[in-house]
A and B are shown apart, each in its own frame.
Chain A
Amino acid sequence: MNSNKRTTLIEILIIIILIPVVLLISWKVGDRQYYLTSVIVMILIMIPFFLRFERRSPSARELVTIAVMAAIATVARAAFVMVPHFSPMSGVVMIAGIALGPEAGFVIGALTAFASNFVFGQGPWTPWQMFIYGLAGFIAALLAKKGIMSEKHRIRTALIGGLLILCVIGPLLDTATLFLESMMVNNLSAKAIYLSGLPVNAIHGAVTCVTLFVLCKPIKEKLDRIKIKYGMMEGSNKNHEI
């Protein structure tokens, strides 16, 4: 309980005090430090999620399940080498979020981005990608909790997932590019980046839509089966969600 209270205190401290302070300093210093400021804010937003996960000291089964889902999201691209531009990573992250809850969804998304960058190379984009893919898993899980996204309504889930990529996740990735590549963040450069990102986001959204439509049901069922088969929902596990 005590450590829970401390975690909550740190979260409040970060969100109410540290983030505005960083923004204020960046505003005062000027010099258009968009990228550095945004990366620091991203890292600060991620800390509460990670702290919560650590404080709970999750069981071995939960950790392994999370690692397996993140690794599948990372390698899933390899199953579609024959299809150009078909990267099901965001779809798999969303499904994992739907099946395992918002907290696990965020961790899976963020670690998937981080781990796949160990393969493709870490870069200044790493914190942004971790945050964005974490957000994808988190939002999908929240929508699943409200009953909006679930394996029972395949078409609705697929459409919402595709829209989420097109309207939220894709533009966020474009924002990272905008801050990273251009120092002149104004209407014109923003328009150029977002417009050139639109086709990429449309493909990304369509791919996620297809992935959710086809894979959401089987993967959710497999996870449920594991939970029943090994009694993960019962007392053996002090933690919730898995």
Chain B
Amino acid sequence: MRRDSFSEYHPGITFTFFIAAIVFGMCFIHPAFWISSVVLSTAYVVSIRGRRAAKILLILLILFLAVSLLNPMFTADGEHVLFLLPWGRPYTMEALCYGLAAGGMFVTVLLWFAAYNEVMSSDKFLFLFGRLMPSLSLVLTMILRLVPSFQRKMAQIVGARKCIGMVGDVDRKSRINAGMAVTAALTSWALEGGIITADSMQSRGFGVGKRSAFAVYRLENRDVILLGVMILLILVVLLCAFHGGMKTAYIPKIELAGTDVPYMITGMIAYVLFMAIPTALNIVETVRWHYLKSKI
């Protein structure tokens, strides 16, 4: 995996960034905004995943086309009719533009989530919410730890059953029954083991004192600065949205807030700067790395 310098910042910063980027991505239907969001989220996913991004981008392209071309079939409103569908409903240009926006917003949210899944590992999530929800985050930690262990145990149970001739892959019914037997066996083993774990936790002082986290992140100066910049940009975007900088209507007639609206320009600049933060950090880091290496 490539180094992602944005993910080395405090998890609170990463989380704030993704929440804001995803919510904005869901809301802003103005073409300039959704297109820049798609471009910048793609740039970030490529900067983290490198070549591995190709597959996900291809899938998302297909999804984008499907959502944008299918959506206009469900409305007949709009002034410019492009063609008639076989069953007689008009397919309008306005609806197509609306569909493109819907597809773009859908895809950009998925792209941000693709980056989120790379950057926000479960231990970062638990670091953030462990204090707020101690019991739930502990249960979540245990589930994440138990899932691979249960998968291993399940393979052992299947192996043991094979040894005594219970292969169970003759027809569908016997396969289902075999699966049920494996699940039931796994449950008894897991519940017994769970009680022992719980008693061990109890005797080691579960619930006494403060909860600690696996990874410890400190809020450094650079984190505070970045957080300040992010909050400032978010506020500017919100202010411009509030003043109608992203006003958009597609149906029945396309009406956009144009470049003559100062709030649209300001909001656009703030939005692009905000979304470019992680990619820019990665690029700066790479350039600095090559620069330092060239001096050796």
Contact = CB atoms under 8 A, between A and B. Distances in A.
A67 interface: yes
A182 to B, nearest CB: 5
B198 A63 contact: yes
Contacts of B26: 33, 35-36, 124
Given A64-B201, A71-B150, A184 B71 contact: yes
Contacts of A121: 113-114, 117
Interface in B196-240: 197-199, 201-202, 206-207
Contacts of B113: 121-124
A177 B180 CA distance: 30
Contacts of A188: 73-75
Contacts of B179: 79-80, 82-83, 86, 88
Interface residues of A, number: 62
Contacts of A71: 142-143, 146-147, 150, 190
B176 A107 contact: no
A31 B29 contact: yes
Interface in B99-134: 99, 101-102, 105-106, 109-110, 113-114, 116-117, 122, 133-134
A121 B112 CA distance: 12
Interface string A76-87: 101110110010
Given A64-B194, A72-B183, A124-B110, A80 B175 contact: yes
Contacts of B188: 222
A111 interface: yes
A115 interface: yes
Interface string B68-89: 0011011100000000000000
Find the residue from A63, A122, A218 having the highest chain B CB count within 10 A. Answer: A63
B136 interface: yes
A192 B74 contact: yes
Interface residues of B, number: 68
A75 B185 CA distance: 13
A78 B151 contact: yes
Contact of B150 (A72, A180, A219): A72
A145 B113 CA distance: 39
Contacts of A186: 74-75
Contacts of A222: 184, 187-188, 191
Interface string A58-96: 111101111110111011101110110010100010000
Contact of A184 (B74, B109, B114, B206): B74
Contacts of A72: 150, 183, 186-187, 190
Interface of B: 22-23, 26-27, 29, 67, 70-71, 73-75, 95, 98-99, 101-102, 105-106, 109-110, 113-114, 116-117, 122, 133-136, 138-140, 142-144, 146-147, 150-151, 154, 158, 169, 172, 175-180, 182-184, 186-188, 190-195, 197-199, 201-202, 206-207
15 contacts: A50-B133, A64-B142, A67-B194, A75-B186, A76-B183, A79-B186, A86-B176, A122-B117, A123-B110, A124-B22, A182-B102, A183-B71, A183-B101, A184-B102, A230-B195
